[in-house]
Structure 1
């Protein structure tokens, strides 16, 4: 793609004019640097002087370092009675075409800015954490992950919601410009572009961003005024500083076990007092490391400059000392708390605090399954990381399976099932795709693509006069992102659809770990009418307590209950679970129904909906006849 119109021969009419239109004078290129000549000086006479040829040894992701650029800085800003010089503007150029990237980089370098090129879309998130850009200059059409999907992924990252993203593309389609802006971009520039236009568009947005940052409030409060523990925001800020400063040490995710059961047994007020006291004692145990309470039953501790080889011993010691503590709860009754601890070494190269927090949380999940209750984050090897990227290459395809009311219902409703079509034609199910997407940090992008498709499908069917309800699986890690909740609320409103047409499906195993996050997201969505389903339900004390504490509408039983007709004990468990759900006002779905005996057992147990191959197999069409479907 051409970056600018081909220049006419020097003897052509208008040659000088066109050259001047495309090439700013030298004082324009350097107008932000400290030694820039004054306007109207000698440099102003040299308006026809072309810019210096771009260097060939520029910095590319994964390439050699560039030669040092001339000193440059952003404009000075007032600070009391004097001026304070800001660092140069930083621009991350995401472009798979090397020639295009070098052109943009040379233009920005000439204006006194720092510009880094990222040729591979998959490396952009890491580059953001390393380079900390003021603005991203984004190409639209790139192999693998195009610019719009990459923008969506960036917006899901902590601290990137307001990062300016400007597209620079040769795509002339005006409709595409609207799509780009709707994806979360801030501006759309069309190639070929004049250098002065590119500089002005980039610099004006960065100036506004930095002005806004200067007006922001001071840093987060260090200590919570009631508990005295570190605040979550301050501690995560410390994690960011430690990561960017190259500090060694570790991050510990400490989870108190059986939290839902404890709350159910002693009540919310007593449970809250118990967790507050647990926090105070944990703070003494981990001192001098700061400790913050993350949610109802989990805490985060940061050991800076600690011996990373001794992190496991430290985690074991924290758990043992907590278990030795005796906590009064009611009258003379006392109890001992058990906990699971996941930890991660800061030297693993996390891009930012959010990534480190997710890693330690996943490690805590593994710790719950181990007798010693401790687990370390083990980053994937280069081979595993490449295998993850390779596995996720392809095109998302969605399939649907009807969810049919036992008593009959005209409303069409389907479960949306994710599939990934590999370049070789292989079709991978969600069970293979989701764990890899979570491990590689791509789950939010996948989730949003699926949800976006579902919402637009609901809107289209509504316009056609054939409304439907869709059950859409989502990861709690996606629901925890502030930007996702805002995006979903805006999309539902913009499309004019009823929130009750969407049911967000969350697995029981995920909900037990992320109950606080999930409850907060549910509260944000309830005013819209969005409903929730707890999937893969297995009876148990914590799971049953969760039914009463989350604003659910549906429960989908685990697949093993489809065999209840052949197992009296399983049949009794099914009936008990359905009765509990009905007492709480929830509707129950039986899945994997393959034969009439299974359907009959579900019906006698009081099930509300069934799905499975007996009703209709999974397919790519939404053509099931719900009006005639009565079991």
Structure 2
């Protein structure tokens, strides 16, 4: 099994927009077809990742094909709408034999091997070995132990980033962001521990820790006379947890918090992949008077028609479009989401706003709120001056 990931595809998307980057992916798919054996099974596995299954091939043949594909992409120049981009492959190779437990294990091994190739600089292939398996297992065990300690001993912390109205709408809103403290009290970012948490089945417990401690922070602010609204991220695991809504309901009652003080957000990808569950979850939140948001909207080139099935209060436009706001495709996504919001009665948030250059476009299209380092980086304290507005 070959697991192939083009390097820096976010940069390509920022340069070419979604439509242009999809043309690059189509060209990469054709490159793989042209250079692979006729009996190979090729697929676009997820996002920008491709996978190839080789039938009746030995390891030497798989490694030779990986090198051939690596070189072919490294030599390729993609000319899209007057712009030229290049990329390279990080390739993971996982042997499939009688000791391979199932397809999931083979994919995990290939993905881990790809990660090693990427960490070593990319533009290369790496074959998964027993040494890799032991190293990954050891690293996962160490991280899982840290996570279990963090849950038991409150070794997590929360930071907050303001979400500010572009149209002077009243209220103070913050995104709640999770961090973990390592043994040296250094902050560990979610990207470093969420995969291990998922593998260990800890995501629901972590989400509940965040919600419970966010509720405490809301109560502390209420004592000071401030009524805030928190945006709280939920994992797909919590979305699929049958007890989550009842647990949130009990928490709100015990804390005497009104539901609309919390906005629960999941990624667009999680919503699309779990559409029926998401619909039921959103309806349940509405009964609790909580708000519901989708994050990273427009990150993929699929239609927004899935929104016909969901009751949504906020849509957060993916940061790639905000960073690439002068690109025609990104402006089209921003306009489409904003117009959909106006017609359907939900509000829109531009995330990852890094500088004021995009504000005129966001204002022009009627985006309601902005969030990002331009306003303030995530901080321990909630001290943003909302009277200054988003400009």
TM-score range for the pair, normalised by the shorter chain length: 0.5 to 0.7
Aligned CA-pair RMSD: 2.7
Match of 2:140 in 1: 388
CA gap 1:520/1:569 in 2 versus in 1, 3 angstroms: closer
- In structure 1, the residue matched to 2:94 is none
Q: Can you give the 5+ residue segments of structure 1 that lack an aligned partner in the other structure?
A: 1-346, 350-358, 367-379
Give TM-score scaled by structure 2 length. 0.61
**1:402 aligns to what?**
162
Mapped to 2, the partners of 1:550 and 1:570 lie a distance apart of: 24
Asked if the contact 1:533/1:554 (under 8 Å) is kept, the reply is yes
Cα shift at 1:481 = 1.7
Alpha-carbon contact 1:512-1:543 (below 8 Å) kept: no
Query: Which of 345, 348, 351 is matched with 1:585 structurally?
Result: 345
Instruction: Measure how far apart 1:530 and its partner are.
Output: 0.8
The 1:389–1:396 alpha-carbon spacing in structure 2 relative to 1, beyond 3 Å, is farther
Preserved contact between residue 415 and residue 470 of structure 1 (Cα < 8 Å): yes
Greater RCO, 1 or 2 (C-alpha within 8 Å, sep 6+)? 2
Q: 1:613 to 1:481 in 2, by over 3 A?
A: same
For the residues of structure 1 that align with 2:214 and 2:303, how far apart are their CA atoms? Answer: 28
Q: 1:401 to 1:543 in 2, by over 3 A?
A: farther
The range that moved more, 497-506 or 417-426, is 417-426
Q: Corresponding residue for 1:596?
A: 356
Determine the C-alpha separation between the residues in 2 that align with 1:540 and 1:438: 23
SS across alignment from 2:306: helix
Residue 386 of structure 1 deviates from its aligned partner by 3.5
The separation in 2 between residues aligned to 1:425 and 1:444, in whole angstroms, is 24
1:626 has 2:386 as partner: yes
Q: For residues 474-513 of structure 1, what are the structure 2 equivalents within 5 Å? A: 474-513=234-273
Distance across 2 between alignment mates of 1:457 and 1:513: 32
**Against the structure 1 CA distance between its residues 599 and 432, is the aligned structure 2 distance closer, same or farther, given a 3 Å change threshold?**
farther
How many angstroms apart in 2 are the aligned matches of 1:535 and 1:485? 20
Contact 1:591/1:610 (<8 A) preserved: yes
Distance in 2 of aligned mates of 1:502 and 1:348:
43
Instruction: Please identify runs of 4+ aligned residues in structure 1 that moved more than 3 A.
Output: 380-383, 539-543
TM-score in terms of structure 1 length: 0.39
How far apart are the structure 2 equivalents of 1:382 and 1:348? 16
Contact map agreement 1:539 1:577 (CA 8 A) in 2: no
Is the aligned partner of 1:463 residue 2:223? yes
Residue aligning to 1:526 = 286
1:25-66 deviations in Å (ceiling 9; x for gaps): xxxxxxxxxxxxxxxxxxxxxxxxxxxxxxxxxxxxxxxxxx
Tell me how many residue pairs correspond in the alignment: 261
SS at match of 2:243: helix
Q: In the aligned structure 2, how far is the partner of 1:560 from the partner of 1:435?
A: 23
2:210 to 413, 426, 450: 450
Larger radius of gyration between Structure 1 and Structure 2: 1
Task: Indicate the residue corresponding to 1:11 in structure 2.
Answer: none
1:65-76 → structure 2 map (5 Å cutoff): none
- C-alpha deviation, 1:435, in angstroms: 2.1
Q: Deviations over 1:313-367 (max 9, x none)?
A: xxxxxxxxxxxxxxxxxxxxxxxxxxxxxxxxxx979xxxxxxxxx89x99xx9x
Work out whether residues 370 and 390 of structure 2, in 8 Å CA contact, stay in contact via their aligned partners in 1.
no
How far apart are residue 539 of structure 1 and its match?
Answer: 6.9
